[in-house]
């Protein structure tokens, strides 16, 4: 019997969430973002769940090639483009489109002699100041690309820093959209701006393509809950109680003895720890469900185990089912307790966790 820790992927939820994105942007095509092994859900499963997407976007070249090998025929977009000239052959062979975010990439395209042109997406830095050309560089970069035999279609994209946060004083989505529109004004080619937060909250920026990621997996891109938007969790991480301890007032639990019982109590030991991807920083109080009853983590998360309070669930036993996140326990609630975001938790599920599908 393997260790009873499983990430169950709900492929029908992937499809449902894609439909939520399509409804939010009914006139846009959709790049379903599948980077980081489809946010931990598996590329092959994502490909099936997102059959109705217009294209798949990711940052890993090997993942893009795998999508082709798995039979994905529609567009594939490398969101960070390519990293060295040697990559270009693979882009041509597998018909991969590339974001172009810096002059060095244009130089590589210029010196390449390719069997077929590559479709590119000129990335504009509209204020986030990670990747992309400044608005002033946009037109010269476009002209350079336009002149190259190695370049086919040219499209445009930018990325929002705060689409989930209308109160952000440093940079608003409106300001970024305005800078982007000015930068590419008059240039022919499709536009794409919106991540999940913008797709859900700013229909006005939907344009030709949206690029939702986390929402497709049932994660919230911001402060409102995923359920609020009609999203369904696409992953349930579950395990079992593999031990029970009856402790007395004053007894301590786990490394660092961070939890000391205020009264006699029953605690459960769950087969899941930080080596499985559960956040070590989740404090006492982080929600967990045991046998359908909501309770909390107590003490430190260890490598392979965590301890939970069984006070609200007196009738459970070794073998009782434990839900760490997913159906009935939004991943964002666990993330918030651990001072992180649902994105990080879903991406961090470790290779040793068994994957199932329903």
Ligand X SMILES: *Cc1c(COP(=O)(O)O)cnc(C)c1O
Report the interface residues with ligand X, using CB under 6 A.
33, 35, 79, 159, 195-196, 211-214, 221
Nearer to ligand X, 159 or 191 (CB): 159
Pair of tokens at residue 281: 């920083």
Nearer to ligand X, 125 or 307 (CB): 125
Q: Supply the residues annotated as catalytic.
A: 35, 255
Residue, CB closest to ligand X:
213
Using DSSP, how many helices (H) and how many strands (E) does the chain show? 11, 18
Minimum distance between the CB of residue 82 and ligand X, rounded to whole angstroms?
15
Nearer to ligand X, 42 or 221 (CB): 221
Minimum distance between the CB of residue 143 and ligand X, rounded to whole angstroms?
24
Minimum distance between the CB of residue 276 and ligand X, rounded to whole angstroms?
22
The helix (H) or strand (E) run that includes residue 20 is helix 11-24
Residue 115: strand, helix, or coil: coil
Note whether 301 and 288 are within 8 A (CB). Answer: no
Q: Tell me, letter by letter, the H, E, C secondary structure of 161-222.
A: CCCCCCCCCCCCHHHHHHHHHHHCCCCCCCEECCCHHHHHHCHHHCCCEECCCHHHHCCCCC
Nearer to ligand X, 40 or 254 (CB): 40
Phi, psi angle pair for 20, to nearest 5°: -60, -40
Note whether 193 and 160 are within 8 A (CB). Answer: yes
Minimum distance between the CB of residue 78 and ligand X, rounded to whole angstroms?
10
CA angle 256, 340, 42 (to 5 degrees): 110
As a whole number of Å, the end-to-end CA separation of the chain is 20
Nearer to ligand X, 39 or 278 (CB): 39
Distance CA 49, CA 39 (A): 13
Pair of tokens at residue 169: 């004083």
């Amino acid at each position: 019997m393997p260790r009873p820790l499983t990430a169950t992927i709900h492929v029908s939820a992937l499809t449902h969430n894609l439909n939520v994105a399509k409804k939010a942007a009914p006139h846009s095509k959709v790049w379903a973002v599948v980077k980081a092994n489809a946010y931990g859900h598996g590329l092959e499963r994502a490909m099936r769940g997102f059959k109705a997407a217009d294209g798949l976007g990711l940052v890993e070249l090997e993942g893009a090639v795998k999508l082709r090998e798995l039979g994905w025929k529609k567009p594939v977009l490398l969101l960070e483009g390519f990293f060295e000239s040697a990559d270009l052959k693979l882009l041509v062979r597998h018909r991969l489109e590339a974001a172009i975010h810096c002059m060095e990439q244009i130089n590589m395209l210029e010196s390449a002699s390719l069997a077929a042109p590559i479709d590119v997406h000129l990335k504009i830095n509209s204020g986030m100041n990670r990747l992309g050309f400044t608005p002033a560089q946009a037109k010269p970069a476009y002209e350079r690309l336009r002149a190259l035999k190695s370049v086919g279609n040219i499209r445009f994209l930018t990325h929002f820093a705060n689409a989930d946060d209308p109160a952000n004083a440093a940079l608003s989505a409106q300001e970024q959209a305005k800078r982007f529109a000015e930068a590419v004004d008059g240039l022919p080619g499709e536009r794409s701006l919106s991540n999940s937060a913008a797709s859900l909250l700013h229909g006005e920026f939907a344009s030709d393509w949206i690029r939702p990621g986390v929402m497709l997996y049932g994660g919230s891109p911001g402060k409102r809950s995923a359920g609020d938007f009609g999203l369904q969790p696409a992953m349930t991480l579950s395990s079992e109680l593999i031990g029970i301890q009856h402790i007395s007032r004053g007894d301590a639990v786990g490394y660092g003895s961070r939890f000391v019982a205020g009264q006699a109590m029953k605690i459960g030991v769950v087969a899941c720890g930080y080596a499985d991807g559960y956040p070590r920083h989740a404090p006492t109080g982080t929600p967990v469900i045991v046998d359908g009853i909501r309770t909390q983590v107590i003490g430190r998360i260890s490598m392979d185990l965590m301890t939970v309070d069984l006070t609200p669930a007196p009738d459970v036993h070794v073998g009782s089912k434990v839900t760490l996140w997913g159906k009935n326990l939004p991943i964002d609630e666990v993330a918030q307790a651990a001072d992180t975001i649902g994105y990080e938790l879903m991406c961090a599920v470790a290779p040793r966790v068994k994957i199932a599908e329903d």
